Structure 1
Amino acid sequence: MLLPATSPQTHSLECVRIDDHAESHKWTTVPGTAVGTLLDQEAAELLDVVASIPTGDVMRCFMPGYGIRARSADGLILFEIAFCFQCNNALVLQPEPHQRQDLVGFKADSRRGQELLARFRAF
């Protein structure tokens, strides 16, 4: 799965449990509660897992349960990704100045997709 160009600047990664699926097409940030934070090397390792998930076909439901929020060393949000493991969609949100919202398909049932889901559930 392709990560935003700002991903190498990631200092910390918040794992988010999404609690509201409503109007995801209007999201500017991933709603939910941070259930864990990874720093430096641990954050880089989880981003490597995400980056190695194969792309897949975009489906329909998009009811994500988990997400990540990448922050720079000074605490600014670099990007966020919400994952729906039912329909294999990931919503990538990037704040200004890029202000982008992209829906991409990923293979949730792949080895790396299942590894990511297991890590989320471990929190």
Structure 2
Amino acid sequence: MTHSGRDEERDERIEMEIIVDTYDADEQAMGWNAYLDDTLEFPFEARCRTEREESPLEEGEPVRVVGMSSTEPTLSQQFATIEWMDRTLGVPLEQLEPVDVGSTTEQAIADWQYWLER
């Protein structure tokens, strides 16, 4: 995984809005899940950035993201619910690249990817 440079504004948003008042990894994961669920503007179109063992998506494949999954979030995995081949399933949010989305959705996904790269 590529590590990007430090982004002070993004770090402050993460510390003050997403993981504020959290005391352990489980609480931070729930903070991230709540932030993403509240901030992402569902539904939105995305495409698969990279193939993953736990997901049936192929690189470049388009999907419609309809919400956050009920799968237990962790600090290294947040799952989104997608519509795919006439069914819905959860896939890692990290696997998805938003397509033509609003700035709020784009920023929230970029925040999550930044967090994972740290």
TM-score (norm 1): 0.33
Higher strand share: 1
Higher helix share: 2
TM-score (norm 2): 0.34
